[in-house]
A = this chain, B = another copy of it.
């Protein structure tokens, strides 16, 4: 069903149909009605190829992420997914334009976001880790299509949010800790960065799992690797709690904490659970310094969000507004090897 066919059925020209479809006016009410009824009846769907050929514009998606290497690789995994989607979509005239911001510096998200949006991008992919600034930024561009990854932003209407339930993730980490360390003892939940919503929710979920489990004592603390004495802090904690039996790190820094634990000679008594399968964490798992990882599929998040913005912007599709990423459990037994080992036994 093409515009020409509709035009023929309605006894008008394609120009008139086009004006009706795009509500550009200069059409008699009666004609509008006739054309619309034919469209409804036959279920017209514009030809995406013809449409985009005619418009023949590059569809640029702005990407605004925290410094890619600020947290050992979590954001870099997001970026890898984004790049993969962008590469696949490049023959469809989709491209990305990325800027990073420093989430530890107030105003950085807003400044970088404005720099990005001044370049007139067609859509925005944003990690709203500084909620107030993200809201201020979006308020300036009310007609912009945007999507969130990592976490949602209340009171906004994104094309799509690709997120994971952090409380549930922490709760699941609790269950895995319980399985891996059935003997009870003292458990420690560690945050390594400035408090973020996802981090504190994970701690909350973890603690809540053990709230009714006898034989376990739970604590939570913050460790900062920049310019402090994390080794000393951890050593003190071990000395005060000789029955330490497990550590849960709510960020991707478990491999750093695991190093400390190994240095203190405490690995054998400590089950280590962390977040996200970044390269260093996978390596630490292969070295048996880390026992379990919880993953939020960061590549998938970035990949999916780009595709959803593309579908909205170029295909006029209305994607699901919330995509909830499953919480993956990674043990040494399902840590991905090289992809093709299966086919070459």
Chain A contact residues, CB within 8 Å of chain B: 45-50, 52-53, 56, 88, 90-93, 152, 154, 161, 163-165, 168, 171-172, 174-175, 179-180, 182, 311, 315-317, 320, 322-324, 326-329, 331, 333-334, 336, 339-343
Most chain B CB within 10 A, of A161, A322, A342, is at A342
A53 → B minimal CB distance (Å): 4
Q: Give the complex CA separation of A326 and B339 in angstroms.
A: 10
List residues of chain B with CB within 8 A of the CB of A340.
322, 324
What are 29 of the A-B contact pairs (CB < 8 Å)? Answer: A46-B91, A47-B53, A47-B91, A48-B49, A48-B92, A48-B93, A49-B52, A49-B56, A49-B92, A50-B53, A53-B53, A88-B315, A91-B315, A91-B316, A91-B317, A152-B342, A154-B343, A161-B343, A164-B342, A165-B341, A168-B334, A174-B333, A175-B331, A179-B179, A179-B180, A322-B340, A327-B334, A328-B328, A328-B334
List residues of chain B with CB within 8 A of the CB of A343.
152, 154, 161, 322
Q: How many copies does the complex hold?
A: 2
* A334-B342 contact given A49-B92, A179-B179, A317-B88, CB 8 Å threshold: no
A90 → B minimal CB distance (Å): 7
List residues of chain B with CB within 8 A of the CB of A180.
179
* A49-B93 contact given A331-B175, A333-B171, A334-B327, CB 8 Å threshold: yes
List residues of chain B with CB within 8 A of the CB of A168.
333-334
A229 → B minimal CB distance (Å): 35
A220 → B minimal CB distance (Å): 19
Most chain B CB within 10 A, of A53, A326, A334, is at A334
